[in-house]
Structure 1
Amino acid sequence: MAESPPRLRVWYRPMLAREAHEAHRAATTLELLFDLCFVVAVSRAGAALHHALAENHVAHGVFNYLCVFFAIWWAWLQFTWFASAYDIDDVAYRLAVLVQIAGGLVIAAGVARAFEGDFAVVVTGYVVMRLAGVTQWLRAARGDPKRRRTALRYVLGIAALQVAWIARPLLPTPWLVPSFLGLTLAELAVPVWAEHAGHTTWNAHHIAERYGCFTLIVLGETVVGATSAIQEGLEEGHNIAGLVSLAAAGLVIVFSMWWLYFDRPGHRRLTSFRTAVVWGYGHYFIFASAAAVGAGMEVAVDYDTHKGHLAHLPAGLAIPLPVAIYLISTWLLHIGPSNECRPIAIGFPVAAGLVLAAAFSPAPVHITAAIVAGLVALMVAVTREHPVEP
């Protein structure tokens, strides 16, 4: 029996746009590898936030966490939306993604220094990723004449901003924070400006799946961080029953967060470019808050084992605050205030308010777990009469 010829990998081919309504469009193994490499950056950001909170540097730690997480999230977002429209999977494309992954790992390596106020390494990794993205957009401009203006706008916007990021450290100290905020807004504006020249052919089902994958990543990092903190507490001989109870409450919170996010299909919200921008950008709050829950669990363990330096209220807010932000963000992006099922539409903001109030209680983590589990139970009960369409 003759052997089948080996599969040949194409080195380079025109970067044609993929079909926006392509059936069975799923995440590729390269995209999943990209996500896994970003686990490192998410983990470092969560660990740095925990360290800052444990040392009672709350405002400083939260601000730097939000800045660092923006760099992580924005680099991931840019790759994800480009790949949804132009993933042709030739050798040149794979090598460019390899460079982007390397840039992501450089970002991860610079997280700790960024929390000390030195963003040089994070910016370096960010620039590496974005310049690799420029080469991809140049290929798209050449291979997809219909959207050439769009691709060239991306090239111009990204390249100009990378120069600005490199030059930013030269500014006087009082201008560093305002310049960061200004460049952040400019980054958010580039896709909106570029897509006005002609929309790229992103796939709604594929985008929703990719965002779901990243949600799972940040929830997984929450579990890893909490497990490590509880294991350390057990090894040091602290109250076993209390730590086990805390672990159980944390698991209920993470499981409920997963349930609430994935109960409604995300692709149904991606009906136009405008809604896609709101949905895609709004996920920053979902991702950042979900990852912060892991740091909050570590703070809770520190507080129970008398290792941290936080007072009761700041320590009590470490989990309820990010959980409340997660609930509100999921409500706005996946459920909608005008949802046809009123108990669900009302349940999310009510639960978020109750979660924030739990921070003032003697057992904020356990009460938060009970509230989010109750919200899940509400969704299960009411969706029996209001089934979710796929």
Structure 2
Amino acid sequence: MIENKLNVLRNEIDKIDKNLIELLSRRLSLVSQIGKIKSRFGLFIYSPEREEQLMSCRKKEAIKLGISPDLVEDVLRRIMRESYYKESKKGFKRLYSDCRPVVIIGGKGRMGQFFAKMLTLSGYQVKILDQDDWINAKSILINVGVVFISVPIHLMTKVVNTLPPLPDDCVIIDLSSIKTISLKTILNIHSGPVLGLHPMFSPDNENMIKQAIICCEGRYPESYQWVLKQLQLWGAKLYYCTSMEHDKYMSFIQSLCHLITFADGYHLFKENVDLDKMISFSSPIFKLKLITIGRLFHQDPQLYANIIMESHDNLILIKRYYKRLGTMLMWLERNDKIEFIVRFNKIKNWLGVHADAFFKDSCKLLQLITDMKK
């Protein structure tokens, strides 16, 4: 009798699930129609105001029905991500209709390919200039309107200095992760417009929705405003700073962060731990650490060697970090819990309201880790 009753209820659930899928299909169909309209009229694909208004209304409705607002938010954000993906597949309006050909130096690399895809979806004529094509550089760069430089950091200076003369109004856009040296090099060889962009996301992403791009002014910003608007049309969030400020923060965000992840991986390797057991025994927070380690070691070692070692300022910062580790080691050797707690509270106070916000974000992230199959 119990099994029969369960089967009746499960059948009802199956019917509701089927209805949910049909409703989801209808919603995505409407999204496709919206995508066509946005593409035609050059409307931004991502509207934070619209998204937050929708989210707020749906969460209030959920509360009235006795449903967790967090559940509704999780479901809607996943649906929205799929919706943005479908919208972006429809292409984008080309904001600068008179733009001459766009050349991407390093266009066969992952980030180069990503920008080539986005520009092509917007109707720009894109040409690729990679290391195998350099013999034809002059012909490829004839009458070029925009040049994106997407090459490894250690090759940036060499590539820039071997460029043939470009049209005076050609916009050169640097995509490297170190801005001070690269922009200075470009400004020295080109008298026209120069812009520094640093995409703060992996080129594995399908689109730029909600992705951060740091913008560093080089020269003649009025000449490349259309580029910035095109990025926003693609859904990117733009943040502006000087090249020196950019490099200062990248030392923390990239160089030091990647070195610490490398050190974690190196330590586990030297300890020769059983990874399968460690994964099985892991808490969600440690599994997230393992994911971060695995992601780094899945990629190109030359990329990370360049990011960490290309700037002398990175070495200075890493030495300060190493010295502070030594100080903490002394606390441990003395079993000085009081000193640890005092420092802990000082850092907590320094973080202020961000500590609470980071904690809430981490709870959501860790729940996603828990829900993973493995």
User: Which protein is richer in helix relative to its size?
Assistant: 1
Q: TM-score range by the shorter chain?
A: under 0.3
Please tell me whether Structure 1 or Structure 2 has the larger radius of gyration of its CA atoms.
Answer: 2
| TM-score when normalising by structure 1 | 0.25
Determine which structure has the larger strand proportion and give its number: 2
Relative contact order: is structure 1 or structure 2 higher (C-alpha 8 Å, sep ≥ 6)? 1
TM-score (norm 2): 0.26
